[in-house]
Amino acid sequence: EIAEQPKAVADTLLGRIDTTGRLTLDEVRIPAAVLREADKVVVIACGTAFHAGLIAKYAIEHWTRIPCEVELASEFRYRDPILDRRTLVIAISQSGETMDTLMALRHAREQGARVLAICNTNGSTIPRESDAVLYTHAGPEVAVASTKAFLTQLVACYLLALYLGQVRGTKWGDEIQAVVRELARIGDEVERVLETMEPVRALARSLAHKDTVLFLGRHVGYPVALEGALKLKELAYMHAEGFAAGELKHGPIALIEDDLPVVVVVPSPRGRSVLHDKIVSNIQEIRARGARTIVIAEEGDESVAPYADHLIRVPATPTLLQPLVATVPLQVFACELATARGNEVDQPRNLAKSVTVE
Query: Residue 17 gets which letter from DSSP?
Result: B
State the pLDDT at residue 271.
75
State the pLDDT at residue 27.
80
Beta bridge partners of 90: 43, 116
State the pLDDT at residue 169.
93
Domains annotated for the chain, with CATH where assigned, are 5-188 (3.40.50.10490), 196-340 (3.40.50.10490)
State the pLDDT at residue 18.
80
State the pLDDT at residue 81.
95
Query: Each residue of 167-189: b (16+ CB within 10 Å) or e?
Result: bbeebeeeebbebbebbeebbeb
State the pLDDT at residue 129.
97
Residue numbers of the chain with a pLDDT score lower than 70 = 30
What are the tens digits of pLDDT across the range 294-330? 999 999 999 999 999 999 999 999 999 999 999 999 9
State the pLDDT at residue 210.
96
Say if residues 300 and 268 touch (Cβ distance below 8 Å).
no
State the pLDDT at residue 220.
97
State the pLDDT at residue 166.
92
What are the tens digits of pLDDT across the range 99-140? 999 999 999 999 999 999 999 999 999 999 999 999 999 999
Query: Residue 267 gets which letter from DSSP?
Result: P
State the pLDDT at residue 198.
98
State the pLDDT at residue 48.
97
